[in-house]
Each structure stands twice: as structure tokens, then as C-alpha cells.
Amino acid sequence: MEREYLAARTSHLHYYTAIPLYYVNREGKFGLYKPSGKALDEMRIAGGQVPNRLYIKRTAKLRGFSEVQRAFNRQLEGHIQSGNPESVKIGKIRIHPEILTAPRKLTAEEFGRIKAHPTIGYNLLDTCRFPHTEIKLCALQHHEKTDGSGYPRGLTRIAPMAEIVGLIDCYEALTNDDRPYRNAMDPIQGLTIIKDDVVAGRFSRDVFKKFAYSLL
Ligand SMILES: [Fe+2]
């Protein structure tokens, strides 16, 4: 019986609409939890108001993968069109939240994992056959710096869009994120720090000027 069903990933549950989901009842038998044509509410999933384990039929595996892929791409495109800089940080979904929010200096191994997120993000988008090459490059290169001090590859020639996104990401991290170890800066403080990066050759002057004027 079990071989007919596959456990669905919790992170995929809200993407399933056409694909029905099944649960295991108290007698250990599979029953229909969500019929085809309906989607689960994301808040209910996040709030743990659905069974711990939900399943799809093994015969629906490929259709399920394709539904998740399409829904994921639509969501990502929505983020990108709304200018949400989170979209290029997609690789962070594979990094443990404890590392992302640790209020302490990271170990070399932990920092190595953080530095892998651009490559992870690029590979995820590639695996999902995400169609926009420029966006994939932004995911891959948004931590590269024009003096070669960035990661993951230490490039000095960066895709123009990736450099813009990298600068915005940096500004957003300085001014919007209330990190556990410091408070958000005001816009002038944030720009001053990025200007130091420009002087040191880590961002191009032209991109910085355009960005700073866009805030006026
Ligand atoms: Fe990032």
C-alpha cells in the first residue's frame, strides 16, 4: 500500500492544486486530504494546522513535480516583478535559519555555507528550468565585487544587473534588516558605508551614483 504513495515536502504543499494530497488515518490507512482543484492555505501550513505528513500518489510524481515547478516560477517572477530583493537570495532556503540569524561570529565552516548560497540559488533556478538567464546570473553573482573580493568566484567582471542587485541587497541589509547583532541604519549611514566600498573599488561609481539618485 505504502508504495503507492510518496511523502510530499512540506515546502511544496502550498504549490499543489491539481494534484490531490493524502493523509494517513488512525488505522494507518491512506485517505484523501485535499482533492484536485483546491490549494492548501499557506497560513494553515505555516501554523502546523495540517497533518505532519501528507502524501501524493506515486503515479502523480512527475505531474506533481511539474506543478510545483510552474507554481514556484510564477511566485518567483511575481517577487522579481515587484522588485523584491529576496528573490535573488533564494539559495538561502538551503541554509539552516540558525546560521542565518546567529547573533555571533560565524565559524569558518558556517561562513562557507553562507558563501555557497549564490551557487545553490543558481542551481535551484536552473533545475527548475527558470527561463530568465539575467535573473539566474543575479542569483549567482550578487555577492561578487568589482575588485574580485566577492564570492563565490571572486569575479571582477560582473553582469551589470547582478551588480545593481548586489548593491541594492547590500543597502537593504544595512537599512532594513534588524539583525540580531545590530539595529538598522538610516539611509545616509547606509549610503556612506556603501560609498566606502565604492572608493575601495568594490562597487562601480556609476552604479552607486544611479542608485543614490534613485532614492531622492
Ligand atoms: Fe545573497
| Residue whose C-alpha is closest to residue 133's, from 122, 144, 118, 117 | 122
CATH number for 83-214 (one of 1.10.3210.10, 3.40.50.300, 1.10.1240.10, 3.10.450.750): it is 1.10.3210.10
Cα dist from 196 to 89, 153, 178, 202, whole Å: 24, 22, 22, 9
Q: Please give the distance, rounded to the nearest whole angstrom, from the Cα atom of residue 124 to the centre of ligand 1.
A: 14
Q: Where are the domains of the chain?
A: 2-65, 83-214
Q: Please give the distance, rounded to the nearest whole angstrom, from the Cα atom of residue 89 to the centre of ligand 1.
A: 5
pLDDT at 195: 96
CA atoms in the 13 A half-sphere facing the CB of 104: 6
pLDDT at 81: 61
Partner residues linked to 57 by β-bridges: 5
pLDDT tens series, the chain, 216 aa: 558 999 998 878 988 999 999 999 999 999 999 999 999 987 788 778 899 899 999 999 889 888 887 787 677 667 666 555 555 666 666 667 677 777 778 889 888 888 999 998 898 888 877 888 888 899 999 999 999 999 999 999 999 989 998 998 898 888 876 566 667 888 899 999 999 999 999 999 999 998 988 887
Q: Please give the distance, rounded to the nearest whole angstrom, from the Cα atom of residue 8 to the centre of ligand 1.
A: 28
Residue 22 per-residue DSSP state: E
Q: Please give the distance, rounded to the nearest whole angstrom, from the Cα atom of residue 88 to the centre of ligand 1.
A: 7
Q: Please give the distance, rounded to the nearest whole angstrom, from the Cα atom of residue 171 to the centre of ligand 1.
A: 12
What's the order of all strands across the beta sheet hosting 30-34? 5-7, 55-57, 21-24, 30-34
Cis peptide before 131 (omega within 30 of 0): no
Residue 186 per-residue DSSP state: P
Q: What is the pTM of this model?
A: 0.61
pLDDT at 150: 96
Q: Please give the distance, rounded to the nearest whole angstrom, from the Cα atom of residue 118 to the centre of ligand 1.
A: 6
Q: Please give the distance, rounded to the nearest whole angstrom, from the Cα atom of residue 127 to the centre of ligand 1.
A: 19
Euclidean distance between CA atoms 68 and 12, whole angstroms: 7
Task: State the distance between the two ends of the chain, measured CA to CA, in whole angstroms.
Answer: 63
Considering Cα of 193, then 199, then 203, then 208, what sign does the dihedral take?
positive
Q: Please give the distance, rounded to the nearest whole angstrom, from the Cα atom of residue 74 to the centre of ligand 1.
A: 21
